[in-house]
Structure 1
Amino acid sequence: MKIALAGNPNSGKTTLFNALTGKTAHVGNWAGVTVNKKEALIKKIFNQTNTSITAVDLPGAYSLSPFTSEEAITRDFVKNQQPEVIINIVDATNLSRSLFLSTQLLELGIPVVIALNKTDLTQKKKTIIDVAALSKMLSCPVVEIVAVKNRGNGLDALIEKVLSVTEHSQRAPFKIDNVDLNNKKAVKEVDIKRFQFVEQLVQSVEMRQNKSNQQTIQDSVDRVVAHKWLGLPIFAFIMWTVFSISQTYLGPILAEILGGWIEIFYVFVQNLLGNDVSPVLSSLLLDGIIGGVGAVVGFLPLIMVLFFLLAILEDCGYMARVAVVMDRYFKRVGLSGKSIIPIIIGTGCSIPGIMATRTIKNERQRRTTAMLTPFMPCGAKLPVIALFAGVFFNDAAWVGTLMYFMGIAIIILGALVVMRITGEKNSRSFFIMELPEYRFPSIQRAITSTLSRAKAFIVKAGTIILLCNAAVQIMQTFTWQFDVVAAGEQSSSILASVSSPFAFFLIPLGFGVWQLAAAAITGFIAKENVVGTLAVVYSITNFINTDELALVSGGSQVASIMGLSSVAALSYLIFNLFTPPCFAAIGAMNAEMEDKKWLWGGVAFQFGMGYFMAFITYQIGTLITTGTLGDGFIYGFIICLLLVSYLFYLMKKGDKQTVVTLKTMKN
């Protein structure tokens, strides 16, 4: 048996799906979080029959006449797949908006059960909904639920009602036959009548205290946090606080504990192997696998604390306000206000962030957003940020905060460049978004979300990162003749010979050595590999060990091993964060852009931007700190000059295209 969960964005649809199935699909306070349908079996505690019930979480939709691609997914599924029952999740705090879709679902002939969600909020607002009257007028069962509180809040009754209507035929309370769907005027007239029907229905079943002319506490808070001038500094302060807790205070304490366990395990395996094991095998197991993977996993506590705090901010409703704050800046550079949503989602992982761009209707804006979303540091880049902040900047919270705001600045600059290149200076976009009410965040949901991301991180560390670090260790151990590299002659290894040509081009950036080049290369497989590869090539078993990070003569021992100044370290961090993302994210870009020219142009732009930003950081930083320019300035300047010149050429070409377009429109 298959049931579909359909409803408006932000109605609690995915929260209900998680509660019924025990899954941990991402829940957000904006449209576009569910960008594809998800399926899972309903838990046995809700299903007392022998029949397995599959729940399908469909993307949020306001209508079955699709405006966006995710609405098309919902329409196509309910019309073509014919689920046995549709659970229509209706936001009890906004009946007039939610019931428009309900009337369309009821016309399909498929049994419908209305799940009246967020009834706890209507009680707080002293709003009364006559459920019996609503059920009678819609000709379908209506069940009150509170999805966020899981079992015991109507979910058992909801599934019982679903099972009871499977064989029933559904009668439509509102239906007009013989409507030509290709006749826009006729469809518009039907929609107007549908809205009138919904308004009359709501007036009949809902009794609320009318306080629309009064400013609530939430309105007062929004006047500050979403203010056009105050909103951005408030966001910066909140992000600095988040990074202070995760990277400076709580995170390192937990990381040190985990680092100690990793060190104990390392010594245990070392003693277990003894002295009779081949040095090559011992090095592969201890340094390549345990040391490399352990170096990455050692940062897991810092990442978990950060994700937990971000989940709290999202659940309480603040992150939706960030979208409003950033909208005014994004519209000025030719992006849609909806572009901020994929970018915020991309802070967890670039792949779902890129996939969320399909909610943007304008093709150029969608492709631009897909190209720029990876500039926002994702969860895979956090170990790199944490490593360099800890080793070179004494766990300073400003490092992580700066990287996020650099990402936003690069996105805005990149959008401006793309707008000029494509010649679409005068395109307009509108951003309509329902702001969720502020609420006390659910600690349980935040913990569940954090553990889910931690699990994905550990699985990645135990598969891709493990294999990559093992390969790096093997390549570092042998020459091309498969002879073991002699001590002190690592430059003759396979890894060194492969990485050295790339290292030459990185000299103007401050890190032109093969070890750092190798780490940057493996970062394109998975950004966490940067940390793991550095641990392998420099034989550092634990980056979190306080003894190794202890300051010695103004710098740490790890810093001295890498041979980087703080300026070069910042340049290396910027290069790894703002060059192209992992291969999986590039694959997602390819799927959403649907154009090879855009894909390769986007990858080239990402390479160019990362190189240029790292070059500027190193050369100017070195000039300020030492009074002289850094190594390789001349040919690095030539490379950057060529990159910038080509961009200006493309922008000038786009300007001419704009002039031609405007003349055509004028004529």
Structure 2
Amino acid sequence: MRIALTGNPNSGKTTMYNALTGSNEKVGNWAGVTVSKKEQKIKNAYCNNQELIAVDLPGAYSMSPFTSEESITSTYVKKENPDVIINIVDATNLSRSLFFTTQLLELGIPMVVALNKSDINSKKETTINVAELSKQLGCPVIETISTSKQGLNELIQAATKQSTQKQTAPFHQKEIDLTNKNEVENADRERFSFVNDIVKKVEHRKIQTKDKNINDKIDAILTNKWLGIPIFAVVMYLVFEISQVWVGTPIADWLVAYLEMSQAWVGDLLANANPLLSALLVDGIIGGVIAVIGFLPLVMVMYFLIALLEDCGYMSRVAVVLDPIFKKVGLSGKSVIPFVISIGCAVPGIMASRTIRNERERRATAMLAPFMPCGAKIPVISLFAGAFFNNAGWVSTLMYFTGIVLIFLGALLINKITGYKARKSFFIIELPDYKIPSLWQAFKSMCNRGWAYIVKAATIILLCNTAVQIMQTFTWSFTVAETADASILATIATPFSYLLFPIVGVLSWQLAAAAVTGFIAKENVVGTLAVCFVGLENLIDTEELVLMQGAGQEVAGIIAITKIAALAYLMFNLYTPPCFAAIGAMRSEMKSSKWVWGGIGLQFGVGYTVAYFVYTIGTLFTAPETLNTVGALAGLFIVAIFVITIAVLIKKANKKVKEEYALTSK
């Protein structure tokens, strides 16, 4: 039996789905968290030996889909014919929720209403007559609290029983012409009127919605047009400072020390083994993975703090604050949610763009989301911040706010290239009530994301580091390379080092190899650097692996680049195209190869341009005598190609707009 879980966004669907199935799907105190259909078998504790499948559908306000994720819900319910629907209704906002409920009832599919968040209602001294509501709707209504699993047994029992019953609808919409705007509006008004009549009969509020409460007072500060953005900046600075300086770094130092002891223990076991095998396994494979895992505490602390911000309801307010600014570049506050999610991982961030109705805006958001440094880039940031800038917290903050600036600039470029015309638009978002965030939910979210990070380190990064170590060990004739410069890896990476020369000031195939493997997974940048500088030439003593410690030691003397070059190289890795998984997500959401390749080109061009100007201008101010003229001119040539390409595309778009205007004006 298939049970479809439906409801408005932020009604508690995914929390209930996780409670029923034991899954760990992402939940958040904001709309747009669930953007695709998920299926899982319900736990035996609720099934009574029956095979029940729960289907978690994206949140929807209406059966007339407004966005692409709403169409998933509408299509599934109408065409897949679930055995029964559990409609999760937000008890704190009954009038809004029941509009969708009455539409579902008209389909004739057996349905049970889960009156969720009942505990919040009791705190607000609001009561709902459940028996009367059930009578008015013509289906069972069960009070539930998803977070504590209260009422879930009764809910599933009612759903299995209701699945054999014929469903009737209390309201039937008359046949209307959906292309006639007036008829549609009149039909909606009739439905709202019917819903409001039900609410008046069953709900009693001591505090009316129109009365200002503590939420409104907090919102007056957090969403203030002058205070909102500075507050957001301070909040994000504290997130990075806590995760990467105050808490994350001490834990990381302890973890690295323990991992290095384990590495030494394995090295002792292989003391009498073939030296080549020992170097491959201990220094290459294990050392490379440890270099990535050593930054796990920093990533997990950040995940934990972001989860707290999501759960308390603050993220929706951020969308409201940034909406006016985003509108100026052709986006909206809805784009904020994908960008914030991308701080954890670009893949779900890109997928979250499907909540945006406008196709151009949705594609632009998916294209720009990878500019936000994700969890996979944290090790790269931490490595260079620790090695070159004494673990300064401002490095991370600068990288994230640079990402935001690049999003704005990228959106402006996309507008020019696509011939976007400014239009009046409205941004509507639900502001959930503030609540004390659940430490347990934040911990689970942190562990879930952290586990995904570990799995990647144990699979993709392990394989990549192994391949890097093997290529660095052998020549093309598969004999052991006398020096790393004669290895397969050096010959492959050397051509790319010429591309990097204008932004780092040196020809380093090691840096080039790390940048190339970073396109597979950004964590590989750290792993590859660790492998390359612990190779056959023993450039770094294995007891002093500064690349694994990421704390206050000068790597500049080892890889021969300045602090300005390190900053430029860091930005190149952060703002050029993301990992393959994120590019795959871009292709899935954009549904256009032209847009995907355009996005990759824009990301590479922007990342290279930023890195070039940071290195060139920074060097001119700090040590102009060290700036290589040939390298500066070569880099300027590459940047010029990018700028000219953008100019040609803009000119082409303007010509198309003029042609369209000429046709419409005739």
TM-score by length of 2: 0.95
Residues 477-517 of structure 1 show CA distances to partners (whole Å, capped at 9, x for unaligned) of 0011111011xx21111000000001001111015310000
Name the amino acid aligned to 1:531.
Answer: V
Q: How does 1:46-445 map to 2 (within 5 A)?
A: 46-47=46-47, 49-149=48-148, 151=149, 153-176=150-173, 178-179=175-176, 185-275=182-272, 277-445=273-441
Q: 2:577 aligns with which of 575, 580, 585?
A: 580
CA contact (8 A) 2:113 2:140 kept: yes
- Residues 495-506 of structure 1 aligned to structure 2 (within 5 Å): 495-506=489-500
Q: Quick check: 1:18–1:25 contact (8 Å CA) kept in 2?
A: yes
In 1, Cα distance between the equivalents of 2:511 and 2:543? 18
Q: 3-state SS of the aligned residue for 1:207?
A: strand
User: Secondary structure of 2:25's partner?
Assistant: coil
From 487, 503, 522, the equivalent of 2:517 is 522
Contact 2:243 2:249 in 1 (8 A): yes
AA aligned opposite 2:194: F
Structure 1 position 661, deviation (Å): 3.8
Q: CA deviation at 1:428?
A: 3.7
Corresponding residue number in structure 2 for 1:19 = 19
- Structure 1 range deviating more: 606-615 or 203-212: 203-212
- The one-letter code sitting in structure 2 at the alignment partner of 1:507 is F
The alignment partner of 1:46 has SS state of: helix
Asked whether the 8 Å contact 2:30–2:315 carries over to 1, the reply is: no
- Is contact 2:58–2:69 with CA below 8 Å preserved after alignment? yes
Per the TM alignment, residue 178 of structure 1 is displaced from its structure 2 partner at its CA by 4.7
Q: How big is the shift at 1:562? A: 2.2
Between the aligned partners of 2:138 and 2:593, the Cα distance in structure 1 is 50
Q: CA deviation at 1:179?
A: 4.8
Amino acid at match of 1:353: G
Assess if the C-alpha contact under 8 Å between 2:65 and 2:71 holds in 1. yes
SS, match of residue 367 in structure 1:
helix
For residue 27 of structure 2, give the secondary structure of its aligned residue in structure 1: coil
Residue aligned with 2:46, SS: coil
In structure 2, distance between residues paired with 1:179 and 1:621: 65
Q: In the alignment, residue 532 of structure 1 is paired with which amino acid?
A: G
Deviation by residue 1:45-104 (Cα, 9 ceiling, x = unmatched) = 222x11121110001111111111111111111111111111100011111110011011
How far, CA to CA, are the matches of 1:131 and 1:35 in structure 2?
A: 31
Gap change, CA 1:179 and 1:549, over 3 Å in 2: closer
8 Å CA contact retained: 2:99, 2:195: yes
Code of the residue aligned with 1:609 in structure 2: it is V
Does residue 493 (structure 1) correspond to residue 492 (structure 2)? The answer is no
1:282-329 deviations in Å (ceiling 9; x for gaps)? 111111211001110110011100100111111111111111111111
Contact 1:508/1:630 (<8 A) preserved = no
- Alpha-carbon displacement from aligned partner over 1:1-58 (angstroms, at most 9, x marks no partner): 11000000111111111111111111123332211101111122222x1112111000
Relative distance call for 1:181 and 1:634 in structure 2 (3 A) is closer
Shift of 1:256: 1.4
Q: How far is the alpha carbon of 1:105 from its aligned partner?
A: 1.0
Distance 1:652 1:545, change over 3 A: closer
Q: Aligned partner of 2:238: which letter?
A: T
1:548 and 1:310 mapped to 2: Cα distance?
A: 25
The answer (yes or no) to whether the contact 1:99–1:198 under 8 Å persists in 2 is: yes
Matched position secondary structure for 1:281? helix
What are the superposed Cα offsets for residues 324-368 of structure 1, whole Å, 9 maximum, x if unpaired?
111111110111321111111111111111112222222211111
Matched-pair contact (CA < 8 Å) for 1:7–1:89: yes
Cα–Cα, structure 1 residues 8 and 175, in superposed 2: closer, same or farther, change >3 Å?
A: same
Within 2, Cα distance between the matches of 1:350 and 1:482?
A: 38
Say how many residue pairs are matched: 657
Contact 2:586 2:596 in 1 (8 A): yes
| C-alpha distance in 2 between matches for 1:43 and 1:641 | 60
Counterparts of 1:19 and 1:245, CA distance in 2: 31
Tell me which amino acid in the other structure corresponds to 1:535: A
1:559-638 equivalences in 2 (<5 Å)? 559-628=556-625, 630-631=627-628, 632-638=631-637
CA deviations 1:215-270 (Å, max 9, x no partner) are: 32222221222222221111111111111111111111111121122112111111
Give the corresponding residue for 1:464. Answer: 460
Q: Distance in 1 between matches of 2:169 and 2:49?
A: 31
Which stretch of the first structure deviates more once superposed, 351-360 or 516-525?
351-360
Matches within 5 A, 1:633-652: 633-652=632-651
Alpha-carbon distance between aligned partners in 1 of 2:650 and 2:9, rounded to the nearest angstrom: 38
| Percent of residue pairs identical | 56
Give the whole-Å Cα distance in 1 for the aligned partners of 2:547 and 2:640. Answer: 43
- Tell me how far apart the structure 2 counterparts of residues 210 and 657 of structure 1 sit (CA, whole Å): 56
Amino acid at match of 1:118: K
TM-score (norm 1): 0.95
Of 383-392 and 653-662, deviating more is 653-662
What is the SS of the residue equivalent to 1:646?
A: helix
Cα-to-partner distance string for 1:436-480 (whole Å, 9 max, x where unaligned): 111100001000000000110111111000000000000000011
Residues 1:548 and 1:63: Cα distance change in structure 2 (over 3 Å): closer
Residue 34 of structure 2 corresponds to residue 39 of structure 1: no
Structure 2 distance, partners of 1:627, 1:230, is 40
| Paired AA for residue 172 in structure 1 | A
Aligned to 2:508: 513
Q: Secondary structure at the match of 1:6?
A: strand
Aligned to 2:537: none
Equivalent pair of 1:337/1:430 in contact (CA under 8 Å):
no
1:550 to 1:19, Cα distance in 2 relative to 1, 3 A: closer
**Secondary structure, in 3 states, of the residue corresponding to 1:94?**
helix
Contact 1:5 1:89 (8 Å CA) reproduced: yes
- Runs of 5+ in structure 1 lacking a partner? none
Cα–Cα, structure 1 residues 44 and 450, in superposed 2: closer, same or farther, change >3 Å? same
Q: Give the whole-Å Cα distance in 1 for the aligned partners of 2:105 and 2:440.
A: 35
Aligned counterparts of 2:545 and 2:64: Cα–Cα separation in 1 = 54
Offset of 1:160 from its aligned partner?
A: 2.0
Tell me by how many angstroms 1:662 deviates: 4.2
* Cα deviation, residue 420, structure 1: 1.0
Opposite residue 29 of structure 1, the aligned amino acid is N
Q: Does 1:532 pair with 2:527?
A: yes
Deviation at 1:583, TM superposition (A): 1.0
CA contact (8 A) 2:329 2:415 kept: yes
- Where does structure 2 lack aligned partners over 5 or more consecutive residues? 535-539
Q: Is the 8 A contact 2:291 2:548 kept in 1?
A: no
| Conservation of the 8 A alpha-carbon contact between 2:383 and 2:551 | no
User: How large is the Cα RMSD of the aligned pairs?
Assistant: 1.9
Deviation of 1:543 (Å): 8.7
Q: Distance in 2 between matches of 1:651 and 1:29?
A: 40
**Greater Cα offset, 589-598 or 368-377:** 589-598
Change over 3 Å in CA distance of 1:592–1:546 after alignment to 2? closer
Q: CA 1:36–1:546 in structure 2 vs 1: closer, same or farther (change >3 Å)? A: closer
Q: Which residue of 2 aligns with 1:481?
A: 477
SS of equivalent residue, structure 1 residue 52: coil
